[in-house]
Amino acid sequence: MLEKSPFFTLSSDLLCLCDFEGHFVDINNGWEQVLGWKKEELISYSYYDFVHPDDIQKTLEISLRVQTEEVSYFLNRFRGKNGKYHWISWSGKPDSKKNIFYALGKDVSDNINHQQFLKQVIDSLPIAIFCKDAKKNFQFTLWNKTAEKLWGLTSADVLGKTDENFFPKEQCDFFRKKDQETIDQGVLIDIPEEIVDSPIGRFFIHTQKVPLKNAQGENQFLLGISEDITEKKRMAQSLEDARMQTLQNEKMATLGEMAGGIAHEINNPLSVIIGHTTNLKEKLKNNITLTTKDLLTTLEKIEETGFRIHKIIKSLRIFSRNEDNDPLEEVKLEEIINNTLALCEKKLLSKNISVTVEIPKNLKLKAHATQISQVLLNLLSNSQDALELLQEKWIKIEANEYKREIEITVTDSGNGIHSSIQNKIMNPFFTTKEPGYGTGLGLSISASLMRRQNGELLLDHNHKNTRFILRLKK
Ligand SMILES: Nc1ncnc2c1ncn2[C@@H]1O[C@H](COP(=O)(O)OP(=O)(O)O)[C@@H](O)[C@H]1O
Ligand SMILES: [Mg+2]
Phi, psi at 237, each rounded to 5° = -65, -45
Length of the chain: 474
Query: What confidence score (pLDDT) does residue 198 get?
Result: 82
DSSP state, residue 200: T
CA of 430 to the centre of ligand 2 (A): 10
Helix (H, G, I), strand (E, B) or coil at 390: coil
In a domain, 94, yes or no: yes
Domain boundary among 112, 133, 159: 112
Q: Report pLDDT digits (tens) over 406-454.
A: 999 999 999 999 999 999 998 877 899 987 777 788 898 889 889 888 8
Asked if 286 and 399 sit in the same domain, the reply is yes
**Ligand 1 site, residue 254, Cβ cutoff 6 A:** no
Ligand 1 pocket residue status of 55, Cβ below 6 Å: no
Q: Is 118 among the domain residues?
A: no
Kindly state whether residues 205 and 353 are assigned to the same domain.
Answer: no
Residues 265 and 387 in one domain: yes
Q: Is there a domain that residue 259 lies in? A: yes
User: CB-side exposure of 385: number of CA atoms within 13 Å?
Assistant: 17
d(CA 123, CA 129): 8
pLDDT value at residue 257: 63
pLDDT band at 322 (very low <50, low <70, confident <90, very high): low
Q: Nearest ligand, CA of residue 393?
A: 1
Identify whether the C-beta of residue 281 lies closer than 8 Å to the C-beta of residue 295.
no
Q: Poorest-confidence range of 112-121, 217-226, 325-334?
A: 325-334
Per DSSP, the three-state class of 177 is: helix
58 and 148 share one domain: no
Q: Which helix (H) or strand (E) holds 215?
A: none
- Orientation of helix 230-258 relative to helix 442-452, angle to 10°: 120
Is 220 a pocket residue for ligand 1 (Cβ < 6 Å)? Answer: no
- Verify that 228 and 289 share a domain, yes or no: no
Nearest ligand to the CA of 420 is 1
- Ligand positioned closest to the Cα atom of 384: 1
- CATH number for 413: 3.30.565.10
In a domain, 242, yes or no: no
For residue 449, the CA-to-ligand 2 centroid distance in Å is 14
Q: How many domains does the chain have?
A: 3
Q: How far apart are CA 426 and CA 422, in angstroms?
A: 8
Which of the given ranges, 80-89, 250-259, 424-433, has the highest pLDDT on average?
80-89
pLDDT digits (tens, 9 = 90+) for 142-169: 999 999 999 999 999 999 999 999 989 9
Which structural domain, as residue segments, surrounds residue 17?
Answer: 6-112
Report the pLDDT value the prediction gives residue 13, as an integer from 0 to 100: 94
Is 463 a domain residue?
Answer: yes
Q: How far is the CA of 397 from the centre of ligand 1 (A)?
A: 17
Same domain, 10 and 95: yes
| Minimum-distance ligand 1 atom for the alpha carbon of 441 | 17
Residue 374 CB less than 6 A away from ligand 1: no
Same domain, 440 and 466: yes
In a domain, 390, yes or no: yes
What is the percentage of the chain residues whose pLDDT exceeds 90? 69
Is any atom of ligand 1 closer than 6 Å to the C-beta of 443?
yes
Reduced DSSP (H G I as helix, E B as strand, rest coil) percent helix, strand, coil of the chain, to 5:
45, 25, 30
Q: Residue 30's pLDDT is what? A: 95
Q: Which atom of ligand 1 is nearest to the CA of 440?
A: 19
Cα–ligand 1 centroid distance for 21 (angstroms): 97
- Same domain flag for 138 and 204: yes
The span from the CA of 279 to the CA of 196, in Å, is 72
Q: Which atom of ligand 1 is nearest to the CA of 443?
A: 17
Residue whose Cα lies nearest atom 7 of ligand 1: it is: 382
- Across 101-115, 192-206, 284-298, 313-327, the highest mean pLDDT is recorded for 101-115
* pLDDT for 1 beyond 50: no
| CA separation for the pair 270, 305 (Å, rounded) | 8
**Residue 335, pLDDT above cutoff 70:** yes
Query: Residue 15 sits in a domain of what CATH number?
Result: 3.30.450.20
Among all ligands shown, which has an atom nearest to the Cα of 440? 1
| CA gap 284, 278 in Å, rounded | 10
Which atom of ligand 1 lies closest to the CA of 438? 22
